[in-house]
Structure 1
Amino acid sequence: MTQTNDVSAMTFIDPHIHMTARTTYDYMVLREYGVVAIIEPSFWMGQPRTSAGSFKDYFSSLVGWERFRAAQFGIRHYCTISLNPKEANNPEIADEVMDLLPMFACKEGVVAIGEIGYDEMTPAEDKYFGLQLELAKEVDKPVLVHTPHRNKKEGTSRSMDVCTEYGVDPAKVIIDHANEETAKEVLDRGFWAAFSIYPKTKMGNQRMVELVRQYGCDRIIVDSAADWGLSDPLAVPKTAQLMAEMGIPAEHIRKVCYENALSAYGQSGEMKETDWTNPPAVDQRQLYDGNSVLRGQQPVTDSKELASLLIE
């Protein structure tokens, strides 16, 4: 008989979600489904940026506006800062961006240097991967590695080799967008293995269940990688529910959908459980630089009232 677990009382962390590309309503729904904290990695915006100034404004929004927007719905927002692998191939701007990174790497709420790594595995990507690993060591932050969508196995192995060559402790490196082809090597080499539940491409919910059944729950992290693409911001709680229905033990679900992300990124010193177990009160009357997320709607001043905002 299939064992079932109740995940309705669980809380979740989505340690890779690009909320800049999502709506405020997504924050509200995430909180309703038990997501208490998120991490937003620096990423490619869909088209090339034309100046280093656009990176500065983007990084500023990650440590400013997005933290405020999330807090309005009782969610703690953290981020990772980097020059994305895809953008490392723009030499006219990349060096200027590297000059910006130290300014943001030690800001409040920055839990890692990332996403860094490979897209096409070019010499430029090699260069900026190495430079950002050096920065991570300098500021003593974990590293979030983006593994390429093409040549996944080769790119993943090479990413881990580079981290080792630069003397970065595997226990401080999260290898994301892992799959069945790469999971064993990542775990065998002592790195964290993160899996992005992204429809039809990176990792599916059912496949994730089987991976946890095969490898257990140590150093495995589930995330959504939700962005401007066809993606699901509720991928973490939905995967947790499917795991429960498929008989995965509740303690394993909690580890891969909550505890492991906290352990990995908590090494930064910027993320701790009391951030959301003992949070500041929600008060949507507050403004950020004169702006509100409500756009004229009635503000909520009690966390218990948040669920009433959901549209039926």
Structure 2
Amino acid sequence: MRVFDPHIHMTSRTTDDYRRMAANGVRAVVEPAFWLGQPRTSPGSFADYFDSLLGWEPYRASQFGVRHHATLALNPKEANDPRCKGVLDLLPRYLDKDGVVAVGEIGYDSMTPAEDEAFAAQLELAVRFELPALVHTPHRDKAAGTRRTLDVVAASGIAPGLVAVDHLNEVTVAPVRESGCWAGFSIYPETKMSPPRMVEILKEYGTERMLVNSAADWGHSDPLLTVETGRAMLAAGFTADDVDRVLWRNPVEFYGQSGRLDLSETGTPESAYAGSSIARGGS
């Protein structure tokens, strides 16, 4: 089983996690910029963080044979802090860099006017830089937040196939599927989704445009729950090809639209997606 975790916060994980992931078939990851657990007080602190995501973390991952890419953004939670608004002016300097495969995480935390503004501005950046967008749906009032998310995405003009709407569940998957966006699911030990629940969703909705991630961060999370989901799929009667589609080929297809996905160190030729018909949202 080969695994590409399309949303995991390795900055908050240990090198032992990288070792365990590599031993269990995790060959590639995408790390989205997110809230670190305490407020940042200036755009400069984001610059240091972005530099780490593009420099130190890919190096650290490479020591264990894991290919690391990043998505960069002003995250929804900190979009509410006026001290961080300058990050929107900082982002264009970073979105041109190798290793940046999407704008994200963007979207909603509390669905405030400040979040509306930051979300729309960063979707415009995704269109301008011809990058996919990774969208965070709120943990509270998720159904309303997902509807509002899809309205903002539709108004932005970005192709739905370039958008992954993440942290979905049984209540929110249908409207995202109908919108043409990619559907993302975070598998957690106690909250969010579990491997058995994910299997039931895949039975109902199929494996196309489905992204399964661990979103592992500094909270109670597990970077091997993608692997556990693959095993649960096999136990439920899905084929090895189905598992490979969900855990490898789907994230490769989604992030390959950036034209910057490089999986050469994994021994897999999917970097060829950079020049394919899906490179800018085609099917």
1:62 maps to 2:46: no
Contact 2:21 2:223 (8 Å CA) reproduced: yes
Cα offset, 1:103, TM superposition: 1.0
Give 2:17's match in structure 1, choosing from 4, 26, 29: 26
Letter in 2 for 1:47: Q
Deviations, residues 152-210 of structure 1 (Å, cap 9, x unaligned): 01111111110110101100000000110011111111110010001221111110011
1:74 maps to 2:65: yes
Matched with 1:107 is 97
Contact 1:216 1:252 (8 Å CA) reproduced: no
1:120 maps to 2:113: no
Mapped to 2, the partners of 1:212 and 1:131 lie a distance apart of 33
Matched with 2:132 is 142
Q: What SS does structure 1 have at the residue aligned with 2:135?
A: strand
Matched with 2:7 is 16
Mapped to 2, the partners of 1:251 and 1:269 lie a distance apart of 25
Matched with 1:233 is 223
Contact 1:81 1:115 (8 Å CA) reproduced: yes
Counterpart mapping for 1:204-219 below 5 A: 204-219=194-209
Mapped to 1, the partners of 2:90 and 2:52 lie a distance apart of 14
Deviations, residues 39-85 of structure 1 (Å, cap 9, x unaligned): 00000001111221111100000000001000111110000000000
Contact 2:10 2:217 (8 Å CA) reproduced: yes
Cα offset, 1:242, TM superposition: 1.3
Tell me how many residue pairs correspond in the alignment.
Answer: 269
Cα offset, 1:119, TM superposition: 0.4
Matched with 1:167 is 157
Mapped to 2, the partners of 1:273 and 1:216 lie a distance apart of 26
Q: What SS does structure 2 have at the residue aligned with 1:268?
A: coil
Letter in 1 for 2:135: V
Contact 1:262 1:272 (8 Å CA) reproduced: no
Letter in 2 for 1:122: T
Deviations, residues 282-307 of structure 1 (Å, cap 9, x unaligned): xxxxxxxxxxxxxxxxxxxxxxxxxx
Matched with 2:273 is none
Letter in 2 for 1:233: P
Mapped to 2, the partners of 1:226 and 1:106 lie a distance apart of 26
Taking only the aligned residue pairs, the percentage that are identical comes to 54
Mapped to 2, the partners of 1:170 and 1:275 lie a distance apart of 30
Matched with 2:211 is 221
Letter in 1 for 2:160: P
Letter in 2 for 1:266: G
Matched with 2:272 is none
What stretches of structure 1 move > 3 A for 4+ residues in a row? 272-275
Cα offset, 1:93, TM superposition: 2.1
Q: What SS does structure 1 have at the residue aligned with 2:21?
A: helix
Q: TM-score, normalised by structure 1?
A: 0.84
Q: What SS does structure 2 have at the residue aligned with 1:61?
A: helix
Q: What SS does structure 1 have at the residue aligned with 2:251?
A: helix
Cα offset, 1:278, TM superposition: 5.7
Letter in 2 for 1:70: A
RMSD: 1.1
Contact 1:13 1:257 (8 Å CA) reproduced: yes
The structure having more radius of gyration, on CA atoms, is 1
Contact 1:171 1:191 (8 Å CA) reproduced: yes
Letter in 1 for 2:110: E
Structure 1's unaligned 5+ residue stretches are 1-9, 280-312
Cα offset, 1:247, TM superposition: 1.2
Matched with 1:132 is 122
Structure 2's unaligned 5+ residue stretches are 270-283
Contact 2:43 2:83 (8 Å CA) reproduced: no
Cα offset, 1:272, TM superposition: 4.2
Matched with 2:146 is 156
Q: TM-score, normalised by structure 2?
A: 0.93
Contact 1:175 1:193 (8 Å CA) reproduced: yes
